[in-house]
Amino acid sequence: MILSALLTSVGINLGLCLLFFTLYSILRKQPGNRIVYAPRLVEKEKKSQQADFSLERLLPSPGWVRQAWEPSEDELLSTVGLDAVVFMHIFTFSLKVFTVAGIIGITILLPINFLGNQLSYDFSDLPNKSLDSFSISNVDDGSNRLWIHFCAAYVFTGVVCYFLYQEYSYISSKRVSYFYSSKPQPHQFTLLVRGIPGSSRSSFSEVVESFFKDYHPSTYLSHTVIRRTSKIQELTKDAEKLHRRLARLNSNDNSHKRFRRDGFLGIFGRKVDLLDHYGKRLEALQDNVRMEQSSLAGKEVAAAFVSFNSRYGAAIALHIQQGVNPTEWVTEQAPAPQDVHWPFFSSSFMKRWICKLAVVVACIALTILFLIPVVIVQGLTHLDQLETWFPFLKGVLNLFISRLCCHNASDDLEVPSIPYHSEIPRVIFSVLLGITYFFLAPLILPFLLVYYCLGYIIYRNQLLNVYAPKFETGGKFWPIVHNSTIFSLLLMHVIAIGIFGLKKLPLASSLVIPLPVLTLLFNEYCRKRFLPIFEAYPTECLVKKDREDQNDATMAEFYEKLVTAYQDPALMPVQYSGSSDGRTSPLLHAANV
């Protein structure tokens, strides 16, 4: 690519940015768009704003950018949760890294590259100059100027590691304080126990009860044995379908009731017949569901949710192998009740096994797919080729990393639909690319910086207005960001070793080798120092939090709820309003047992 082409591209992109910025500024002020740009506020206020027309509404104004900066981190934390704040930290971290990289790259590396003579271009025709003359390729072979690149690699690695340490330390401390400030939640007190050993004399429920009463007498609270409910689930699905059809028929014509009441058998006769027919079928289905629900005694699965009266009690049973046979009494942290993927428990062993196998195969395939383009992309220094490769990589990475960071107790089958979760891989990949290219082509850095700034502004503004957290990992995905950054640093080192070799400066090549070793040692330290807090909470936190709860008057109520928290929805009493009068009432009445 030549310089003039790059500048044209920059111009077009900046123009588009300005256009979208203006459009956004105007559109977000229209009352009708409020539900799109600030659904949280709409929900809060429970009424649409007065639709007074004013000229101000049609003028773009950057006030929202200032607004975006107003809420402090603590406010954000309490409103949108830790995950959103950690995601914001990915932005600020990247911005910091790109600022440092940009300063070093533009003020030091770029002039040195440009002053090289390796690629003998015509100096007079600057606009048509290839971008290669700004890259390291233009530095003369064996030139002592390469030692400045060498120093830059060391300085940049040091600075990035310092930022990484700072962020890891900050986020892990936030994670602990977030735990302290969290309300008691059922999944903190509950374990999913698999591999309950069968007994000819007693049911799984009795076996679980006696085991935990025996070995955890002071902490065991209650349990819910999981039952095979696939048949009920099917029946319920059918009933719901039927009920929806009935409701549709009803809403299509609200007057039919009148006719039926009068005994009039006219044009609506067929419809009334249909309604009666569906109503009877629905009632029959409901009876079937109730019958199935009452005959579940023999359909217990060798798995149960076991609740404890303290978080620490649950942690003890989680971290220590329970039975002599390690394939029995396998414990894992329970997911939140609403995240449980119930049909999974009812499916056959074969189906689950195939699902797991499919996940493994997909992971391997995606890793290979990920490696091939990365290797190829690393060999490219031309921006135009990069642009061709980007969309494909983005898709693959989206799939691959989102599976890694959103894994869930339902055995990775359910991926929560949170907007920023799918953004993480994209952001990470840009960091990866930015760091790697710091060395090769510093010209790319200012563009990345601008792109990140814009992304950050829009993310901050939307955050409070749009996002309502449904699923909270407590910033558990930060280690992925950390590892990706370390990986891209290592990649940079490998490239540096290769380039110094090609540029006939073997001494620099060998002197770079300590850098990846030091980076790995730093990573190892971080892994020891911070990672454990992202995996499980320590005794100190758990016991402190449990003691706080002891003084809390609402805990008795919480325990009552906890006992029935893990109830399969298929086992709850169903009541579709069967009478013809109530057909437009709420679809499904479900009450706790």
Q: Which positions touch its own copies (CB under 8 A)?
A: 176, 214-215, 315-317, 319-327, 528-533, 536, 538-541, 543
Determine how many CB atoms are found less than 10 A away from the CB of residue 581.
Answer: 8
Tokens encoding 72? 């402090």
- Shortest separation between residue 486's beta carbon and its own copies, angstroms: 19
- Shortest separation between residue 576's beta carbon and its own copies, angstroms: 46
Residue whose token pair is 């107003």: 70
Among residues 215 and 447, whose Cβ is nearest to its own copies? 215
Residue 565 identity: A
Determine how many CB atoms are found less than 10 A away from the CB of residue 348.
Answer: 10
- Shortest separation between residue 223's beta carbon and its own copies, angstroms: 16
Kind plus residue range of the DSSP H or E element containing 258: helix 256-261
- Shortest separation between residue 206's beta carbon and its own copies, angstroms: 17
- The span from the CA of 440 to the CA of 101, in Å, is 12
Among residues 156 and 530, whose Cβ is nearest to its own copies? 530
- Shortest separation between residue 485's beta carbon and its own copies, angstroms: 21
Among residues 119 and 316, whose Cβ is nearest to its own copies? 316
- Shortest separation between residue 324's beta carbon and its own copies, angstroms: 5
Among residues 78 and 321, whose Cβ is nearest to its own copies? 321
Among residues 20 and 525, whose Cβ is nearest to its own copies? 525
- Shortest separation between residue 78's beta carbon and its own copies, angstroms: 22
Among residues 325 and 367, whose Cβ is nearest to its own copies? 325
Among residues 48 and 539, whose Cβ is nearest to its own copies? 539
- Shortest separation between residue 196's beta carbon and its own copies, angstroms: 13
Q: In terms of C-beta density within 10 A (0-12 exposed, 13-18 middle, 19 or more buried), how is residue 340 classed? A: buried
Among residues 70 and 535, whose Cβ is nearest to its own copies? 535
Among residues 320 and 375, whose Cβ is nearest to its own copies? 320
Contact (CB, 8 A) for 220 and 338: no
120 HSE (CA, 13 A, CB side): 0
Contact (CB, 8 A) for 210 and 197: no
Query: What would the 3-class secondary structure string for 360-375 be?
Result: HHHHHHHHHHHHHHHH
Among residues 448 and 533, whose Cβ is nearest to its own copies? 533
Tokens encoding 482? 């950390």
3-state helix, strand, coil in the chain (%, to 5): 70, 5, 25
Among residues 320 and 593, whose Cβ is nearest to its own copies? 320
Contact (CB, 8 A) for 526 and 164: yes
Query: If you ran DSSP here, which 8-state letter would residue 583 be given?
Result: T
Phi, psi values for residue 225, rounded to 5°: -75, 140
- The span from the CA of 169 to the CA of 478, in Å, is 11
- Shortest separation between residue 514's beta carbon and its own copies, angstroms: 15
- Shortest separation between residue 546's beta carbon and its own copies, angstroms: 11
- Shortest separation between residue 215's beta carbon and its own copies, angstroms: 5
505-to-133, 141, 509, 511 alpha-carbon distances in Å: 20, 8, 7, 10
- Shortest separation between residue 537's beta carbon and its own copies, angstroms: 8
Ranges assigned E (strand) in 215-350:
220-227, 300-308, 330-333
Length of the chain: 593
Mapped onto helix, strand or coil, the DSSP state of residue 260 is helix
- Shortest separation between residue 172's beta carbon and its own copies, angstroms: 9
- Shortest separation between residue 211's beta carbon and its own copies, angstroms: 9
Among residues 189 and 467, whose Cβ is nearest to its own copies? 189
Among residues 546 and 568, whose Cβ is nearest to its own copies? 546
- The span from the CA of 284 to the CA of 290, in Å, is 10
Determine how many CB atoms are found less than 10 A away from the CB of residue 383.
Answer: 17
39-to-4, 150, 281, 450, 498 alpha-carbon distances in Å: 44, 51, 40, 28, 52
- The span from the CA of 405 to the CA of 398, in Å, is 11
Among residues 178 and 459, whose Cβ is nearest to its own copies? 178
Strand partners, 394: none
Cα 515 → chain centroid: 32
Phi, psi values for residue 306, rounded to 5°: -115, 125
Tokens encoding 270? 């067929």
